[in-house]
């Protein structure tokens, strides 16, 4: 593995499991020092720290509730303090509440927006204050921003669609400073929250051109490209990696 991210400092929100943990490992394997946030499982977070430190980089787990804007800012500031700065921000933390319209609770609506949209803006705003030219911001959206084929996913789809507009606007704010911002929009990915062998997966796979789930490492490979110097002319984009789910 090349060390194209050597001497870079990264923060990954929601980095203790699933896609987030795969991203943390990939960035570390390419030489970046990586801080990441987690919400509930300290043991799992510590395992990710140990794995990344074994690659010879600094690693830091920060307990953070992404629905708390103050906590999100504090995570950015701690990253800057302990890693010596921030060059890469990956907004991965997110939640998905699926329920029919008549049963969808307003508190779940509000929490979905606070985690999936507001926390992204708050983290970008806080990180951008410290980023220099060449900074990279990547949001993990969803292919459901473009296609929602099942009942009950309207609010989740809306929250991920909001990132498309947000990243276009923020590309204008950040471009003059030499900072890029893009979305990655995964399709179904094999994680503990959405395993490829579940009954739910059996309903999604027939909708795809490639009849399988992605691995977290496949998503992380695209994120690593967007975090690297090679992606310097790409900003304001939403890149779908979904096995043809939206084809």
Active site residues: 156
State residue 26 phi and psi, 5-degree precision.
-65, -45
Sheet holding 238-241, edge to edge: 59-63, 33-38, 9-12, 88-91, 136-140, 180-186, 238-241
Beta bridge partners of 136: 88, 180
Distance from C-alpha of 214 to C-alpha of 22, rounded to nearest angstrom: 12
The token pair at 133 is 């030219």
User: To 10 degrees, the CA torsion angle through 8, 62, 80, 223?
Assistant: 30
State residue 129 phi and psi, 5-degree precision.
-65, -20
Distance from C-alpha of 29 to C-alpha of 41, rounded to nearest angstrom: 23
């Amino acid at each position: 593995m090349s060390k194209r991210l050597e001497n870079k400092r990264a923060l990954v929100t929601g980095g203790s499991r699933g896609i987030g943990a795969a991203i943390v490992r990939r960035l570390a394997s390419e030489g970046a020092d990586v801080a990441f946030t987690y919400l509930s499982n300290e043991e799992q977070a510590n395992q990710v720290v140990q794995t990344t430190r074994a690659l010879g980089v600094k690693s830091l787990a920060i307990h953070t509730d992404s629905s708390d804007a103050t906590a999100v800012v504090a995570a950015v500031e701690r990253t800057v303090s302990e890693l010596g700065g921030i060059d890469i921000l990956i907004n991965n933390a997110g939640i998905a509440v699926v329920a029919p319209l008549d049963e969808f609770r307003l508190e779940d609506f509000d929490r979905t927006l606070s985690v999936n949209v507001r926390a992204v803006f708050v983290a970008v705003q806080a990180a951008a204050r410290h980023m220099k030219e060449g900074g990279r911001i990547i949001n993990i959206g969803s292919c459901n921003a473009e296609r929602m084929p099942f009942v009950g996913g309207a609010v989740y789809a809306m929250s991920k669609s909001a990132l498309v507009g947000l990243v276009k606007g923020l590309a204008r704010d950040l471009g003059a400073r030499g900072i890029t911002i893009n979305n990655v929009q995964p399709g179904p990915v094999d994680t503990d929250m959405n395993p490829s062998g579940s009954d739910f997966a059996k309903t999604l796979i027939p909708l795809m051109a490639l009849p399988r789930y992605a691995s977290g490492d496949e998503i992380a490979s695209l994120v690593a490209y967007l975090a690297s110097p090679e992606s310097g002319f790409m900003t304001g984009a939403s890149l779908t990696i979904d096995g043809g789910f939206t084809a």
